[in-house]
Amino acid sequence: MNSISTRPLAPLPGGSDALGTPASRLKNSTMLKQRVLTALLLIPLVIGLIFYTSDRAFLITLAVVFTLGGWEWAGISGLVARPARLVYSLLILAVLAALAWALVQNAYQVMPGYLLGVLTFWLLATLWILMFRGAQGPITPWRRIRYLVSGLLVLSGPFLALAVLHARPDDGPWHVLFVLILIWVADSGAYFAGRAWGRRKLAPQVSPGKSWEGVLGGLAGVLVAGVIGGYLLGIQPGALPLFVGISVATACFSILGDLFESLVKRESGVKDSGHILPGHGGIMDRIDSLTSAAPVYLFLLWITGIPL
């Protein structure tokens, strides 16, 4: 909804030397202006949706966002024909509608099991990322099916988690905002630490720009954010270390969401999932980290018993 990802501006390919020609400087300046303008419009919109809409209106908004994400996911998974992408988007919408119906019926007992399935998928996705050795030519039908099935969990998990978090009385919207802040802090810390000290590549075949030093820098920021956020959210002092641990785990999983989308795009040979957000790419490019972070955050709060 990144998060809708609030990710820092990425470094330009080739460093400062890439800015050599007037044409390239003009293009980069235009893209920067587009990104800043889009962010200035999105941030208050997202905050308004979180804090000033009813639970049902928030649910509907989530359904629209993740259904659009389904359209883009179909594209990066190798579905080119518009009718096929539309069918897949409607399938995503049907899954979201079923989950929304369960929420409206207060069938919360099925939610931990569903989120456990989503968490299991992300653990398997870790192996998927580790074993990736680069694109092996055009996507085969089997790999296309594999990505499309994965998309059902990639998109439905955060929908469910954000809806449940938002529906909690009193501080539910604040937890939604906190998840977004964790992602932003992790991304920003990784960006600046990676630029300053990045040497060892995290996943060179998937996302060459990410480094282990960047990850550690991002997690250092998340430690601070977890302490401050726990205090502001009213977490009891005795439970604060556990809550900080949940914050760090959430940030770690947010990296998986980013890497997994990058993997699928590399397989498909595409740079952005779409062009709906000027200067930022598509919906999936903004919510990739959120797809894995939100389900893990809610699931860990549930199993640890930290009250919301």
Q: How confident is the model at residue 110 (pLDDT cuts 50, 70, 90)?
A: confident
* Cα–Cα dist 145/88, whole Å: 11
Question: Does residue 152 form part of some domain?
Answer: yes
Q: Count the Cβ atoms, other than its own, within 10 Å of residue 105.
A: 8
Mean pLDDT of all residues belonging to the chain = 85
Question: Does residue 17 form part of some domain?
Answer: no
Q: What is the pLDDT of residue 137?
A: 67
Q: How confident is the model at residue 99 (pLDDT cuts 50, 70, 90)?
A: very high
Whether the per-residue pLDDT at 225 is higher than 90: the answer is yes
Q: What is the pLDDT of residue 152?
A: 96
Whether the per-residue pLDDT at 93 is higher than 70: the answer is yes
Question: Does residue 268 form part of some domain?
Answer: yes
The CA distances from residue 67 to 84, 152, 159, 171, in Å, are 14, 10, 10, 27
Q: What is the pLDDT of residue 210?
A: 92
Whether the per-residue pLDDT at 30 is higher than 80: the answer is no
Q: Where in the sequence is the domain holding 141, given as residue range(s)?
A: 53-304
Question: Does residue 92 form part of some domain?
Answer: yes
Q: Which residue has the tokens 């009193």?
A: 170
What's the total number of domains in the chain? Answer: 1
> Contact 171/234 with Cβ under 8 angstroms?
yes
Question: Does residue 254 form part of some domain?
Answer: yes
> Contact 76/137 with Cβ under 8 angstroms?
no
Question: Does residue 148 form part of some domain?
Answer: yes
Question: Does residue 172 form part of some domain?
Answer: yes
Question: Does residue 293 form part of some domain?
Answer: yes
Q: What is the pLDDT of residue 305?
A: 87
Q: Which residue has the higher pLDDT, 259 or 110?
A: 259
Q: What is the pLDDT of residue 212?
A: 95
